[in-house]
Amino acid sequence: MNQKNLVVFLIIAFIGTNSFGQEILSAYINEGLENNPAMNRENFSLQQQVEGIKEAKGMFFPKVDFMANYTVARGGRSIGLPIGDMLNPIYQDLNVLKGSDSYPANLENVNESFLPNNFQETKFRVTQPILDPQIYYNLKIQEEQYNGQLAQKQAYENFLTGEIKIAYFNYLQSLDVLRVYESSKNILEENLRVNEKLVANNKATRDVIYNSQHELDLLENNIVQSMKNLAASKAYFNFLLNRNLAEEIAVDSAIAKVSWEELSYEALEDQALQNRKELQKIESGLRATEQRVKLNQAGNLPKLGVIADVGYQGFGYDFGSDQDFALLQAGLTWNLFSGNLNKARVQKAKIQHDILGKQKEEVQNQIKLETLNAYNDLRAALAYVKANESGLESASQSFRIIRKKYDQQLVSLLEYQDSQYRFTNAQINVSLAKYNYLTKKAILERNIAGEL
């Protein structure tokens, strides 16, 4: 890669003892991916698609059914058969010729009912499709739907990973802000004690005590607000991991270290378009609609199948050799006209394919926009970190000098409080800037579906 074409900017990275913190965060991410209810829902949807593929494959295999029915009937239509009228005269003549009664000459006419009474049929039926293109295309559709569901699951994994990172950084930021306020509280309390001594020794008026107490009260309010933010960030982080909302969170104090790295926006954009599972889901949908077009077109093709029956059939349950039977049938079905039903289905699938094509173009542009914004936000966050670190150094040195002067009564209380206020704010701003940078980094990583 040509270094001259790279856009160079700082990235907060994990260095030194930071590897331990990375293990902490990685463990939390794995826990969230395993336990998060929405993630579990995605897993169930994926399993459902697996069963859909099994169902589609099962249509290629023979279907075996056991079928049994027994019929009892009375009345209904019947047909008269003049058996006696036709055969009795013939048998009488034969008996005369033979001089014996060998043939029955007293047969009665028969009245046979169309509804068989005491009739049973017990059999096994085997149905095997031989030629059915729609079964093949249905399997292809199910496979692409599985790929789309898998891509959706992976897209949510990427989203959840980013959310866990951001929630963890927000929690650490809340801790850091609270730490700064607690440190400032110690300074203000010490200042209050000094002022009380000065007043007691008639070296200052009581207004210095009132001012110091007011500043301490304001700080107490900030501490209460920070504790509220800390509890909220802890609860949300544990919510993402599906844990008790008040469960303690392991802290990595070195996670906000800074190191240098060079990145190219063009490379980030390419990585985003290549890795984002939302695009892969749409591509699976496009392939599925292509197969659906072929499936509906195959509705006009002939279908060939075989049916085999083996069992017993007759009056009464007498499974003898006179009742057993076997039947083999080959069937051909060819739909010649169905009111343009298949044609309409084909057009419907083609329209859906066009819709997905436009959706893919829209998602590509959205990914590019999100990546560009996240990249610029990261650069701006970096500049904010550098500015606040410089401001903290200045405020720290200034407060150290003014505090010594105040102890020697060389500066006013107002000047001392202003210096202390700027020092406290500078500490908070650096913390906010660093964790804001980590958050912007996590957002960019989520947009490119990869690590920086």
Where do the structural domains in the chain lie, given as residue ranges?
A: 3-70+130-448, 79-115
Within 10 Å of residue 60's Cβ, how many Cβ atoms?
A: 12
Closest among 43, 51, 54, 56 to 150, alpha carbons compared: 43
Name the percent of the chain lying above pLDDT 70. 94
Residue located via tokens 């009739």: 119
Residues 6 or more apart in contact with residue 331 via CB below 8 angstroms = 304, 305, 306, 307
8 Å CB contact between 270 and 330: no
pLDDT band at 19; cut points 50, 70, 90: very low
pLDDT of 145: 94
Mean pLDDT of the chain: 85
3-state secondary structure of 337: coil
* DSSP characters over 251-269: --TTTT-EEEEEE-HHHHH
pLDDT of 362: 95
Mean pLDDT, rounded, for 146-150: 94
pTM over 0.85: no
What CATH code is assigned to 3-70+130-448? Answer: 1.20.1600.10
pLDDT tens across 76-126, in order?
Answer: 777 877 887 788 888 887 888 877 877 787 888 877 777 888 889 999 999
Quote the strand ranges of 106-168, DSSP E. 110-113, 119-131
8 Å CB contact between 278 and 155: yes
pLDDT tens across 157-191, in order?
Answer: 999 999 999 999 999 989 988 888 887 788 778 77
8 Å CB contact between 129 and 60: yes
pLDDT band at 2; cut points 50, 70, 90: very low
Q: Is residue 356's pLDDT more than 50?
A: yes
